């Protein structure tokens, strides 16, 4: 077993430190620092990958992190096929996207800051993949979330970007809270937090289910599954390489990775897996429908990502571990490719509305063709990588006996092919719909596109494929139907057919184009009430809690005549009642001191008489 | 011990009495109050020096009229401390003239003698006479600003209230005489311990005596004279009133009730407890509203008396130690505070608290000292006032008077309001004027003594506690 | 006699303060120099204590014991153990940094530095005393300079805030005094020695323990502050000058928590068990309620102040759990909160010095003008909202873990507080740093070297503990283990 | 003188069959009653001059009561000090401070009713207590009143200290009265 | 023989009268006169007890003698104070002596 995997995340972290501290002096060189670090990580990851294949899997301890009162927590790394595969994907895609970013971010003021964040992300993501326990995973999990936040609001001068970053962070954090509770519950029930122990925990099923579902909450947030998917489309406010790396290829896949990593927990009881499956299915379908009506090139891809992640969840949920993880890998390549192509297009035309583009294939050859390759891959056209993984998922769903889910998956596949080619046809073909001065991007951008395209084509062959002719046929048919429909709608019928359809199903269209009103519902049910609750709490705090015990302040603040006091008493009302009563005492007692000496004597003797009376009655 | 044998143990008092007469006569010829004051201080020092000698054969003096013991020695020394500090403060008090200085110092020394006699009185008759002596001298000193209506009014009110209070006490003493056939405390104590005192008449007589002493100690409901008298009296005399008679009043309370009448007193503890709680609460609550610093300190001294009374209610050895320590601390901090008031009023001609605005900028050292004295009165560690409160509450807790202790601490929080109010004006507000007056050396000296005393008694209470411990009854 | 290290730590600031009193008022440079040197040497002495500290030893170290008032068995008794060492270091560190942060104070500097140093003495003494009487004395000494520091150098409503702080905390502490006395008189032989009381204190009847516990609770809870005694805190923080806010949040609040660790729990075990559930509920209220109120604030400083209320809730929760995890978490949370919130207040001060407003609604887009400031602010914000990898996470996680073992439902609701915390902190970041630049601040300058100097050490601590918590856990864990064993808590 | 008078009166009443004590008793009650009446005059009359005169008469009656208590010396001192000195002083003071019209205006303030109630309550308390109290009494017949000589000797021995001390008080009062009383015009 | 209690009751009545007067008289001199009544009440008690207790040294009578002396001294002081107030405030009515209050 190889024992240097823990070095993989260190280089990007070092690059982050260098860039954040000396970024201003390094300027463009900071890109080289980051890319260099990624490349070293890639190299080590490759060695690990090969070593793993040769020496077998396992995990080893790196260092002690917590230790107190007989309790300790050691951090270690897991090296197994899943982590090795993901390490390779992340390092490869990450390195390529960073190279691409040199071109994309060329003119940005905060160039070095961008690469610093990218390195931080790389480090965190790699750490996440290598974690061998929940705490370590949670740490890096939040770390990638932070990078996501920082990079989404990288152009923070844009209010939308600032808001989107916050939305992403908080939405995922809601899921993370579930994860955290799950971790706490797991620890309190089993005293272990290591993944390697998940297989035989020896606790009852219902508790196990609860833990699994809580952990799944984290995955739902991170992988933008329904109902926490709302942040991902907004996250497209970030620079496109970020969208490609974080919000398509790697970070959002972490949720799927988490489920896969803790699969033992889910397998222990079937009810938790069903949840995963249905959440995945709903997400996949819902996002796909939204993607069909959206006009923003990046958002279409974002919904597509959500949909594909749902697909993976669905696969895992029905027990298709292999298919799910396989799709995780292939998706990383082709979705990164698609985003980078989209970025290249945006870079060229400075708009994201697809209906302002058109006919770009002619002007942007490299971008255009790689775009098409990506689209074919995602649509599931053989022999590109997407075909193999998607096909495997579909067959696994059917094999496990879930006809309803299979139906949803099939429809989703159809929709996927449709909206992808809607995009392709509208953007690359036809005539330009507005005045565009499109030009091909520089080589630093197109070369990574090429490499990714190659991966998108060939990644399907990284593992042996089982041929199931019938199933394959079905898959191909679905893809073809989707592409064909898109062709009919957007090439042949160009804008003739969609309009009547839209009118015919106006309610449906409205529902879908408004993203099922999920954001609005959250706004009304969660955000506004909690803001109002905060306001109420603040008012309660300053008026009631403070007021009731405000006797002190009141006494010291007010001094003066009885009249004045009376006014205040009337005006201030009930809240300061306690204070006022004391104040009244003070004023009244003070008035006892009339200055009239016989009053004094009278009071003294009155008191004396009372004392004697007490003694008389008490004594007998 | 008869007269002839007693005289040599009476030397400190005799020295002071002789000096008093000497000052009175000297005042006719020497019209410099500084000289007369210095002479008085010298007499006081001499008296203090003679004191240990007079305790070598402590015991009953003058046919048992007096009992010279370490307890009385403690209070005699406190009395001399008070008078000494008051003389120092008086020397720097602007409204006093040189004209009547001889009479003034004569009266102060007479008060010293009266207090010393009162502290060692072992006979109710002697207690009555010496208390009347203290009172009469106090009335006159209060009225010493002859042309000042405040001073005269204060004195008359004080007088009317006081005369009545002592009349009531006298009436009570006459009952005790009727019940026991004697006014000698030791004899009465013997009779009580023999079990002959369970009558209602005895209880009421005791209450009347308590009332008379309450007047001296300013306990509710016999406190009403305090604010008026304190505000109207010349400030050095206010300092004297707040410290001297009160200390002696408590000394006599302890001697009469806790030493000699203890079996009878136990029945009164509940009422004394209520009196303590009402006293401190009333003093504190009313003080919050005051605008005149002397009046405010008057109410504060009422409240302080309430705390001291806690030690009395508890009545244990620790309680008595607490009373003694508290009184010592109280004398230092209260006279210190009034000394500061004297200096401030010398320059701004006002005792209004608002006029203290920005004192820290005008007179930083003075403001600092006044702050320390006020914080000590408020019971903030590590100052003497805190340790006094600590002992008082400790005594209460030790004897399981939890209610009393809780009332005490709540009150000490209330009290912070008005003490800190003065501090607030001094430090947080801007000065109205930047007038700086030269400060008389004598007052500075008094302040330094009080300041060092307050710090030392708070930080290093050991010698003080040892002193008190060896002075217990 | 060995070198009296702890006495030096306590009294060096006081001596320097007295020295300052004799320096002419206008020699401000010298005054600052003395103050800085004194706090700096104090910090070095504290570091020396840390280096010389043997963390495998649960007993008190560097003990100094001199009879003070033998008549009532009061001793001048100092010592340091795993529970106090972190807080002493924190106090010395913040004392030094806030002293440098005080250079911005331009008025009445002589008085300021005198009071500041007196405050330092009080705080350090509180953490180092092992005699209840001595503890109380130092505890109260803190009040007076604090009153002046808020009242003289504070904001517009400083008088109100200062008196409120004073009265509130005094009201709590006088009840503590009664409890101290009750402990003294119920122990035999009568003693104020915390260690002896802890080893023999179980003799108290439960009913009495509960009364005594409540007395201490009032004292400590007001300092922490625990709902509903927290209302002094926002006022005091908002009005206090920046360095004083730093100490207020960084150190003073810890005095309350420390009291629970040092006095309430070890001495009053049965009562501690009795009050575990109420403590947990109060912790929950602090966390969630504090977070909600913070969310509604428009004043930057007030928001941070309420966040303190929320964060200190974790201390309560950890304590309530009576587990080794929870206790370690609670103690660590105190340290971390001190560092993080101290830094937050320094950052608020940096902004206020430039903008003269703290209204969150009036900023916007400062990220472009103040990149370094933004970076630092973001780090502290993230630490504050419990981002893993930074120190706040470790202690919150441990507190929650402990809480979860004992109070499952309460802890789950508390975890939701974390989401709200993230919400208001990010909302703050958005309103201050992000978005288009508000043109009012076009000329605003970035953080300067001196300010950065005060923040970098804190940031280093935040990151170091976040990455490698054993750095500090090693120091405290043996003492906590001993404490848990002593009170019969859970080793979970 | 008075004893002789009473003895003669006693002889007379005994002739009428009444007990010999009757005269003594009757005269005591008459004198005591008069003392009360005059005392009431002091506190209730409108003209302050009349009050002072009433006070003098009251004190005179009290001196008479002292005779029944075998305290002839004190009766004499009572008349000398109180009637002779103190009441005269009061009258001087009244003349110095009051205008003619002031002397006969309303003399009672607004708290008459409360005061009467308090005074009555305290009186009834005291009477209740006095009746029930176990006063110390000497065995029958052994009680001897001190003669003038006894008092004089006591003053010089057992009570020497208070006696001397009172001289200091009187000196102080004198000095104080002079200082406060003499006020130069400013 | 006249019973002891009757003397004492006379004393109590005088005490009560004096108290009533002290509480209700409008002038300071009136109050002073009332106070004299109270002192006399105490004196009657002292002398009565002296008679019934006996004793060689005549404590009660001596005490009463001292009381008279002190009463004289205090009357002097009281009247001087009345005169001082009259001089400064031109009044002898207690309800007008209220520049010191509250």
Give the nearest chain E residue to A587 (CA atoms).
E102
User: Which residue out of A541, A549, A559, A579 would a mutagenesis test of the C interface target, given it has the greatest number of C Cβ atoms within 10 Å?
Assistant: A541
User: Which residue out of A561, A595, A606 would a mutagenesis test of the E interface target, given it has the greatest number of E Cβ atoms within 10 Å?
Assistant: A595
**In this complex, do B228 and A616 lie within 8 Å of one another by their Cβ atoms?**
no
Interatomic CA distance for residues A75 and B209, integer angstroms: 81
- The pLDDT of residue A495 is above 70: no
Chains that touch E (3 or more CB pairs under 8 A): A, B, D
pLDDT in tens, B112-159: 999 999 999 999 999 999 999 999 999 999 999 888 889 999 999 999
pLDDT of residue C142: 92
pLDDT of residue C36: 94
- Which residues in chain B touch residue C140, judged by CB atoms under 8 angstroms apart? 380-381, 386
Interatomic CA distance for residues C464 and C473, integer angstroms: 12
In the predicted model, residues of chain C with pLDDT beneath 70 are 1, 201-203
Instruction: Tell me if C257 sits within 8 A of C338, measured CB to CB.
Output: no
Taking the CA of residue D5 and the nearest CA in chain E, the distance in Å comes to 17
Which of B249, B441, B236, B250 lies closest to B339, judged by CA?
A: B236
User: For chain B, what is the mean pLDDT?
Assistant: 89
Beta-bridge mates of residue B66: B61, B121
**In this complex, do D135 and E4 lie within 8 Å of one another by their Cβ atoms?**
yes
Interatomic CA distance for residues B417 and B377, integer angstroms: 12
**In this complex, do D122 and A608 lie within 8 Å of one another by their Cβ atoms?**
yes
Instruction: Tell me if A59 sits within 8 A of A17, measured CB to CB.
Output: no
- The pLDDT of residue A546 is above 70: no
- Which residues in chain D touch residue E49, judged by CB atoms under 8 angstroms apart? 135-136
- Please report which confidence band the pLDDT of residue B106 belongs to, taking 50, 70 and 90 as the band edges: very high
**In this complex, do C178 and B405 lie within 8 Å of one another by their Cβ atoms?**
yes
pLDDT of residue B5: 77
pLDDT of residue B406: 92
- Which residues in chain B touch residue C141, judged by CB atoms under 8 angstroms apart? 380-382
pLDDT in tens, A292-306: 888 888 888 888 888
Backbone φ and ψ for B55, nearest 5 degrees, come out as -105, 5
E13–chain B Cβ distance below 8 A for any pair: no
- The pLDDT of residue A556 is above 50: no
What separation in angstroms does the CA of C297 have from each of A164, C182, C307? 22, 42, 10
Q: Which helix or strand (DSSP H or E) is residue D153 part of?
A: helix D148-156
Residue C406 DSSP class: H
Look at residue C365 and give its three-state secondary structure: coil
pLDDT in tens, D92-118: 888 888 765 565 666 677 788 888 988
pLDDT of residue A154: 86
Instruction: Tell me if C361 sits within 8 A of C303, measured CB to CB.
Output: no
- Which residues in chain E touch residue A598, judged by CB atoms under 8 angstroms apart? 22-25, 31, 94-95
Chains that touch C (3 or more CB pairs under 8 A): A, B
Cβ atoms < 10 Å from Cβ of C172: 25
User: Which residue out of C235, C326, C391, C435 would a mutagenesis test of the A interface target, given it has the greatest number of A Cβ atoms within 10 Å?
Assistant: C435
Q: Please, which residues 125-144 of chain A have a Cβ atom closer than 8 Å to chain C?
A: 135, 138-143
pLDDT in tens, A13-40: 888 888 888 877 877 888 888 888 888 8
**In this complex, do A188 and C404 lie within 8 Å of one another by their Cβ atoms?**
yes
Place of tokens 């996470």: C393
Mean pLDDT throughout B407-426?
Answer: 88
Interatomic CA distance for residues A577 and A550, integer angstroms: 10
pLDDT in tens, B152-184: 999 999 999 999 999 999 999 999 998 888 888
**In this complex, do D136 and E81 lie within 8 Å of one another by their Cβ atoms?**
no
- Which residues in chain D touch residue B140, judged by CB atoms under 8 angstroms apart? 172-173, 176-177, 179-180
Which residue of B381, B398, B405 is in closest CB contact with C137? B381
Q: Please, which residues 303-362 of chain C have a Cβ atom closer than 8 Å to chain B?
A: none
Which residue of E15, E70, E81 is in closest CB contact with B171? E15
- The pLDDT of residue A557 is above 60: no
Backbone φ and ψ for A223, nearest 5 degrees, come out as -90, 15
Mean pLDDT throughout A46-52?
Answer: 81
Taking the CA of residue D16 and the nearest CA in chain E, the distance in Å comes to 19
The answer to which of A463-477, B367-381, C118-132, C152-166 has the lowest mean pLDDT is A463-477
pLDDT of residue C343: 92
ipTM for this prediction: 0.86
Instruction: Tell me if A318 sits within 8 A of A276, measured CB to CB.
Output: no
pLDDT of residue A20: 84
pLDDT in tens, D153-176: 888 888 888 998 999 999 999 999
**In this complex, do D108 and E18 lie within 8 Å of one another by their Cβ atoms?**
no
Question: Is D touching C (3+ C-beta pairs, cut-off 8 A)?
Answer: no
- Which residues in chain C touch residue A173, judged by CB atoms under 8 angstroms apart? 418-419, 422
pLDDT in tens, A179-219: 988 888 888 888 888 888 777 777 777 888 888 888 888 88
User: For chain A, what is the mean pLDDT?
Assistant: 79
Mean pLDDT throughout B423-444?
Answer: 86
Give residues with Cβ within 8 angstroms of E86, minimum separation 6: D96, D97, E92
pLDDT in tens, B25-56: 998 888 888 899 999 999 999 998 888 765 66
- Which residues in chain B touch residue D135, judged by CB atoms under 8 angstroms apart? 178-179, 201
Residue E95 DSSP class: G
Which range of residues forms the domain containing residue E64? Answer: 4-91
In the predicted model, residues of chain E with pLDDT beneath 70 are 55-56, 102
Does residue E101 belong to any structural domain of this protein? no
pLDDT of residue B306: 94
Interatomic CA distance for residues D90 and D108, integer angstroms: 18
pLDDT of residue A381: 79
- Which residues in chain D touch residue B3, judged by CB atoms under 8 angstroms apart? 157, 160-161
Number of domains in chain E: 1
pLDDT of residue D1: 58
pLDDT in tens, A332-353: 888 888 888 888 888 888 878 8
C162–chain B Cβ distance below 8 A for any pair: yes
How many CB pairs below 8 Å do chains D and E form together? 238
Which residue of A598, A599, A609 is in closest CB contact with D121? A609
Which of A316, A339, A127, A148 lies closest to A248, judged by CA?
A: A339
Answer yes or no: CATH 1.10.3720.10 is held by domain D1-98: no
Percentage of chain D lying above the pLDDT 70 cut: 87
Q: Please, which residues 165-204 of chain B have a Cβ atom closer than 8 Å to chain D?
A: 175, 178-181, 199-202, 204
- Please report which confidence band the pLDDT of residue A449 belongs to, taking 50, 70 and 90 as the band edges: confident
- The pLDDT of residue B195 is above 60: yes
A524–chain B Cβ distance below 8 A for any pair: no
**In this complex, do E27 and D107 lie within 8 Å of one another by their Cβ atoms?**
yes
Question: Who wins on pLDDT, C453 or A246?
Answer: C453
pLDDT of residue A563: 28
Q: At what angle do helices A253-261 and A81-104 cross, to 10 degrees?
A: 170
Which residue of E94, E99, E102 is in closest CB contact with A598? E94
- The pLDDT of residue A355 is above 70: yes
Instruction: Tell me if B115 sits within 8 A of B77, measured CB to CB.
Output: no
Interatomic CA distance for residues E40 and C425, integer angstroms: 83
Which of C298, C135, C110, C323 lies closest to C223, judged by CA?
A: C135
| Annotated domain spans of chain C | 275-492
Q: At what angle do helices E28-53 and E59-89 cross, to 10 degrees?
A: 180
Instruction: Tell me if D56 sits within 8 A of E40, measured CB to CB.
Output: no
Beta-bridge mates of residue A64: A74
pLDDT of residue A71: 82
A532–chain C Cβ distance below 8 A for any pair: no
**In this complex, do A594 and E19 lie within 8 Å of one another by their Cβ atoms?**
no
SS (HEC) of chain B: CCHHHHHHHHHHHHHHHHHHHHHHHHHHHCCCHHHHHHHHHHHHHHHHHHHHHHCCCCCEECCCCEECCHHHHHHHHHHHHHHHHHHHHHHCCCCCCCCCHHHHHHHHHHHHHHHHHHHHECEHHHHHHHHHHHHHHHHHHHCCCCCCHHHHHHHHHHHHHHHHHHHHHHHHHHHHHHHHCCCEHHHHHHHHHCCCCCCHHHHHHHHHHHHHHHHHHCCCCCCCHHHHHHHHCCHHHHHHHHHHHHHHHHHHHHHHHHHHCHHHHHHHHHHHHHHHHHHHHHHHHHHCCCCEHHHHHHHHHHHHHHHHHHHHHHCCHHHHHHHHHHHHHHHHHHHHHHHHHHHHHHHHCCCEHHHHCCHHHHCHHHHHHHHHHHHHHHCCCCCHHHHHHHHHHHHHHHCCCHHHHHHHHHHHHHHHHHHHHHHHHHHHCCCCCCCCCCCCHHHHHHHHHHHHHHHHHHHCCHHHHHHHHHCCC
What separation in angstroms does the CA of A325 have from each of A91, A378, E49? 17, 16, 114
Let me know if A9 is exposed, middle or buried by CB neighbors in 10 A (0-12, 13-18, 19+).
buried
Place of tokens 């309350």: C256
Which residue of B100, B139, B204 is in closest CB contact with D129? B204
pLDDT of residue A96: 86
Which residue of A602, A612, A616 is in closest CB contact with D111? A602
Q: Which helix or strand (DSSP H or E) is residue A78 part of?
A: strand A71-79
pLDDT of residue E16: 93
pLDDT of residue B95: 84
Cβ atoms < 10 Å from Cβ of B19: 23
Mean pLDDT throughout A250-272?
Answer: 83
Interatomic CA distance for residues C399 and A68, integer angstroms: 13
Q: Please, which residues 56-85 of chain D have a Cβ atom closer than 8 Å to chain E?
A: 58-59, 62, 65-66, 68-71, 73-74, 77-78, 81-82, 85
**In this complex, do E85 and B181 lie within 8 Å of one another by their Cβ atoms?**
no
**In this complex, do D161 and B113 lie within 8 Å of one another by their Cβ atoms?**
no
What separation in angstroms does the CA of A278 have from each of A174, A258, A389, A400, A407? 20, 17, 19, 14, 12
Instruction: Tell me if A90 sits within 8 A of A129, measured CB to CB.
Output: yes
E96–chain D Cβ distance below 8 A for any pair: no
Percentage of chain B lying above the pLDDT 90 cut: 52
Question: Is A touching E (3+ C-beta pairs, cut-off 8 A)?
Answer: yes
C415–chain A Cβ distance below 8 A for any pair: yes
Cβ atoms < 10 Å from Cβ of B326: 26
Which residue of C68, C140, C152 is in closest CB contact with B380? C140
| Annotated domain spans of chain D | 1-98, 148-186
Interatomic CA distance for residues A199 and B215, integer angstroms: 86
Question: Who wins on pLDDT, A230 or B196?
Answer: A230
> In terms of residues, how long is chain C?
492
Instruction: Tell me if C124 sits within 8 A of C188, measured CB to CB.
Output: no
C81–chain B Cβ distance below 8 A for any pair: no
């Amino acid at each position: 077993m190889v024992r240097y995997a823990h070095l993989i995340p260190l280089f990007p972290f070092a690059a982050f430190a260098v860039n954040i501290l000396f970024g201003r002096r390094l300027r463009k060189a900071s890109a080289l620092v980051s890319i260099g670090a990624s490349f070293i990580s890639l190299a080590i990851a490759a060695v690990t990958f090969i070593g793993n294949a040769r020496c077998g899997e396992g995990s080893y301890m790196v260092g002690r992190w917590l230790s107190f009162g007989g309790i300790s927590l050691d951090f270690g790394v897991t090296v197994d096929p899943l982590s090795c595969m993901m390490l390779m994907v992340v390092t490869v895609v990450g390195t390529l996207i960073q190279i691409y970013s040199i071109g994309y971010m060329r003119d940005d003021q905060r160039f070095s800051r961008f690469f610093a964040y990218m390195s931080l992300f790389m480090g965190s993501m790699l750490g996440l993949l290598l974690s061998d326990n929940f705490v370590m995973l949670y740490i890096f999990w939040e770390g990638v979330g932070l990078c996501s936040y920082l990079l989404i609001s990288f152009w923070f001068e844009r209010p939308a970007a600032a808001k989107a970053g916050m939305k992403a962070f908080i939405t995922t954090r809601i899921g993370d809270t579930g994860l955290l509770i799950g971790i706490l519950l797991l620890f309190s029930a089993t005293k272990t937090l290591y993944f390697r122990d998940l297989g035989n925990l020896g606790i009852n099923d219902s508790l196990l289910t609860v833990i699994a579902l809580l952990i799944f909450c984290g995955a739902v947030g991170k992988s933008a599954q329904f109902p926490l998917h709302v942040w991902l489309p907004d996250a497209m406010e970030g620079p496109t390489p970020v969208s490609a790396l974080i919000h398509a290829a790697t970070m959002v896949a972490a949720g799927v990775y988490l489920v896969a990593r803790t699969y033992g927990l889910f397998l222990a009881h079937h009810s938790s897996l069903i949840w995963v499956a249905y959440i995945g299915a709903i997400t996949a379908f819902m996002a796909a429908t939204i993607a069909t009506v959206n006009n923003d090139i990046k958002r279409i891809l974002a919904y597509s990502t959500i949909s594909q992640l749902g697909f993976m969840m669905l696969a895992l949920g029905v027990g298709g571990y292999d298919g799910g993880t396989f799709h995780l890998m292939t998706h990383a390549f082709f979705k990164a490719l698609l985003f980078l192509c989209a970025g290249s297009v945006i870079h060229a035309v400075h708009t994201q509305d697809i209906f302002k583009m058109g006919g770009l294939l002619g002007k942007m050859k490299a971008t255009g063709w790689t775009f098409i390759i990506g689209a074919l891959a995602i649509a599931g056209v053989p022999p590109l990588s997407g075909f193999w993984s998607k096909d495997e998922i579909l067959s696994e769903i059917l094999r496990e006996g879930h006809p309803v889910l299979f139906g949803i998956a099939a429809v989703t596949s159809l929709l996927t092919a449709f909206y992808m080619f809607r995009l392709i046809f509208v953007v690359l073909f036809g005539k330009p719909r507005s005045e565009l001065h499109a030009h091909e991007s520089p080589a630093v951008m197109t070369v990574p596109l090429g490499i990714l395209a190659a991966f998108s084509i060939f990644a399907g062959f990284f593992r042996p494929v089982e041929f199931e002719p019938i199933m394959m046929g079905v898959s191909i048919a679905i893809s073809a139907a989707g592409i064909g429909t898109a062709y009919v709608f957007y090439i042949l019928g160009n804008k003739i057919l969609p309009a009547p359809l839209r009118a015919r199903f106006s309610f449906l269209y409205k529902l879908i184009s408004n993203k099922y009103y999920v954001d609005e519902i959250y706004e009304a049910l969660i955000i506004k009430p909690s803001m109002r609750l905060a306001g109420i709490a603040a008012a309660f705090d300053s008026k009631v809690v403070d007021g009731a015990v405000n006797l002190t302040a009141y006494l010291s603040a007010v001094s003066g005549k009885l009249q004045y006091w009376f006014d205040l008493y009337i005006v201030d009302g009930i809240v300061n009642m306690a204070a006022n009563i004391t104040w009244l005492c003070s004023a009244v007692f003070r008035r006892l001191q009339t200055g009239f000496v016989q009053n004094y004597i009278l009071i003294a003797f009155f008191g004396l008489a009372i004392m004697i009376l007490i003694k008389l009655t008490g004594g007998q | 011990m008869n007269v002839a044998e007693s005289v040599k143990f009476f030397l400190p008092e005799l020295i002071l009495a002789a000096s008093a007469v000497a000052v009175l006569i000297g005042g006719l010829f020497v019209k410099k109050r500084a000289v007369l004051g210095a002479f008085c201080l010298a007499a006081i020092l001499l008296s203090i020096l003679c004191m240990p000698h007079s305790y070598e054969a402590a015991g009953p003096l003058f046919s048992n009229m007096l009992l010279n013991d370490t307890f009385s020695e403690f209070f005699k020394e406190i009395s001399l401390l008070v008078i000494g500090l008051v003389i120092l403060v008086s020397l720097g008090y602007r409204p006093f003239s040189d004209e009547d200085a001889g009479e003034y110092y004569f009266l102060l020394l007479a008060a010293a003698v009266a207090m010393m006699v009162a502290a060692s009185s072992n006979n109710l008759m002697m207690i009555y006479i010496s208390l009347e002596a203290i009172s009469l001298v106090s009335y006159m000193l209060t009225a010493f600003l002859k042309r000042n209506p405040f001073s005269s009014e204060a004195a008359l009110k004080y007088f009317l209230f006081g005369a009545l209070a002592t009349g009531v006490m006298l009436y009570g003493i006459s009952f005790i005489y009727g019940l026991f056939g004697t006014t000698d405390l030791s004899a009465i104590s013997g009779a009580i311990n023999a079990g002959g005192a369970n009558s209602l008449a005895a209880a009421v007589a005791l209450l009347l005596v308590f009332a008379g002493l309450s007047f001296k100690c300013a306990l509710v409901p016999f406190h009403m004279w305090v604010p008026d008298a304190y505000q109207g009296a010349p400030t050095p005399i206010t300092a004297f009133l707040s410290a001297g008679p009160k200390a002696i009043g408590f000394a006599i309370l302890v001697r009469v009730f806790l030493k000699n009448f203890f079996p009878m007193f136990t029945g009164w503890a509940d009422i004394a407890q209520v009196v303590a709680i009402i006293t401190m609460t009333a003093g504190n609550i009313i003080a919050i509203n005051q605008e005149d610093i002397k009046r405010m300190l008057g109410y504060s001294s009422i409240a302080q008396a309430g705390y001291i009374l806690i030690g009395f209610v508890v009545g244990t050895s620790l309680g008595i130690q607490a009373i003694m320590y508290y009184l010592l601390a109280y004398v230092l901090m209260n006279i210190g505070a009034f000394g500061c008031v004297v200096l401030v009023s010398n320059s701004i001609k006002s005792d209004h608290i608002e006029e203290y605005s920005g004192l820290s900028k005008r007179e930083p050292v003075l403001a600092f000292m006044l702050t320390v004295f006020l914080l000590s009165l408020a019971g903030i560690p590590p100052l003497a006032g805190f340790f006094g409160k600590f002992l008082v509450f400790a005594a209460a807790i030790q004897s399981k008077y939890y209610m009393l202790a809780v009332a005490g601490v709540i009150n000490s929080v209330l009290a912070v309001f008005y003490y800190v109010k003065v501090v607030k004006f001094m430090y947080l507000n801007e000065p109205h004027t930047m007038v700086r007056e030269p400060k008389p050396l004598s007052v500075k000296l008094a302040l330094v003594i009080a300041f060092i005393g307050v710090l030392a008694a708070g930080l290093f209470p050991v010698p003080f506690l040892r002193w008190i411990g060896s002075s217990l009854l | 006699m060995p070198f009296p290290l702890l006495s030096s730590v306590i009294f060096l600031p006081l001596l320097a303060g007295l020295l300052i009193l004799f320096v002419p008022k206008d020699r401000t440079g010298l005054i600052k120099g003395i103050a800085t040197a004194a706090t700096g040497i104090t910090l070095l002495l504290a570091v020396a204590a840390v280096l010389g500290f043997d963390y495998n030893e649960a007993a008190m170290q560097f003990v100094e014991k001199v009879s003070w008032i033998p008549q009532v068995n009061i001793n001048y008794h100092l010592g340091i153990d795993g529970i106090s060492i972190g807080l002493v270091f924190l106090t010395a560190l913040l004392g030094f940094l806030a002293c440098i942060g005080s250079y911005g104070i331009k008025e009445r500097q002589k008085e300021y530095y005198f009071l500041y140093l007196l405050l330092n003495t009080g705080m350090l003494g509180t953490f180092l005393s092992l005699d209840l009487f001595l503890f109380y004395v130092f505890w109260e000494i803190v009040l007076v300079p604090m009153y002046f520091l808020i009242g003289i150098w504070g904001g517009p409503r400083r008088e109100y805030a200062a008196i409120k702080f004073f009265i509130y905390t005094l009201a709590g502490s006088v009840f503590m005094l009664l409890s101290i006395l009750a402990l003294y008189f119920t122990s035999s032989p009568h003693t104020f020695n915390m260690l002896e009381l802890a080893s023999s204190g179980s003799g108290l009847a439960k009913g009495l323990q509960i009364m005594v516990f409540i007395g201490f609770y009032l004292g400590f809870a007001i300092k922490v502050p625990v709902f509903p005694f927290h209302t002094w805190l926002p006022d005091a923080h908002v009005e206090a000058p920046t360095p004083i806010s730093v100490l207020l949040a960084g150190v003073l609040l810890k005095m309350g928590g420390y009291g629970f660790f040092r006095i309430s729990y070890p001495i009053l075990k049965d009562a501690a068990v009795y009050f575990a559930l109420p403590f947990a509920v109060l912790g929950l209220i602090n966390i969630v309620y504090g977070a909600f109120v913070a969310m509604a604030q428009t004043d930057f400083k007030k928001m941070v102040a309420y966040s303190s209320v929320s964060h200190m809730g974790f201390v309560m929760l950890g304590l309530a759990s009576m587990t080794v995890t929870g206790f370690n978490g609670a103690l660590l949370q105190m340290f971390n909160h001190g560092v993080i919130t101290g830094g937050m207040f320094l950052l608020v001060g940096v902004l206020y010095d430039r903008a003269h407003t703290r209204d969150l609604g009036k900023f916007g887009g400062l990220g472009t003008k103040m990149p370094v400031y933004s970076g630092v602010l973001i780090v502290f914000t993230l630490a504050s909202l419990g981002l893993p990898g930074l120190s706040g996470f470790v202690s919150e996680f441990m507190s929650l873990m402990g809480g979860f073992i004992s109070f499952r439902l309460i802890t789950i609701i508390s975890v939701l507080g974390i989401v709200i915390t993230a919400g208001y902190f990010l909302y703050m970041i958005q309103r201050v740093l992000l978005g288009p630049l508000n043109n009012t601040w076009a000329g605003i300058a970035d953080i300067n070297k001196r300010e950065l100097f005060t923040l970098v050490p804190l940031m280093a601590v935040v990151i170091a503990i976040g990455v490698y918590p054993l750095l500090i856990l090693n120091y405290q864990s043996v003492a906590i283990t001993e404490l848990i064993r002593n009170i019969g808590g859970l080793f979970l | 003188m008075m004893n002789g008078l009473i003895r003669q009166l006693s002889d007379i009443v005994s002739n009428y069959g009444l007990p010999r004590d009757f005269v003594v008793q009757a005269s005591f009650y008459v004198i005591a009653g008069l003392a009360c009446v005059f005392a009431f005059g002091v506190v209730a009359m409108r003209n302050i001059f009349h009050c002072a005169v009433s006070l003098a008469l009251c004190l005179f009656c009290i001196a008479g009561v002292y005779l029944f208590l075998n305290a002839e010396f004190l009766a004499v001192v009572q008349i000398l000090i109180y009637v002779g000195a103190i009441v005269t002083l009061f009258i001087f003071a009244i003349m110095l401070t009051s205008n003619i019209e002031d002397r006969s205006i309303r003399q009672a303030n607004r708290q008459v009713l409360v005061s009467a109630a308090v005074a009555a309550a305290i009186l009834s308390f005291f009477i209740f207590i006095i009746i029930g109290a176990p006063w110390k009494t000497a065995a029958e017949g052994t009680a001897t009143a001190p003669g003038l000589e006894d008092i004089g000797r006591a003053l010089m021995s057992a009570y020497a200290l208070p006696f001397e001390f009172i001289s200091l008080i009187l000196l102080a009062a004198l000095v104080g009265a002079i200082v406060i009383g003499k006020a130069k015009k400013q | 023989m006249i019973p002891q209690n009757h003397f004492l009751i006379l004393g109590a009545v005088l005490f009560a009268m004096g108290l009533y007067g002290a509480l209700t008289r409008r002038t300071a001199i009136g109050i002073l006169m009332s106070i004299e009544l109270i002192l006399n009440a105490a004196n009657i008690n002292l002398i009565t007890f002296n008679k019934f207790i006996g004793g060689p040294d005549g404590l009660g009578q001596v005490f009463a003698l001292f009381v008279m002396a002190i009463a004289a001294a205090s009357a002097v002081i009281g009247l001087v104070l009345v005169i001082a107030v009259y001089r400064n405030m031109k009044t002898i009515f207690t309800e007008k002596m209220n520049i010191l209050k509250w």
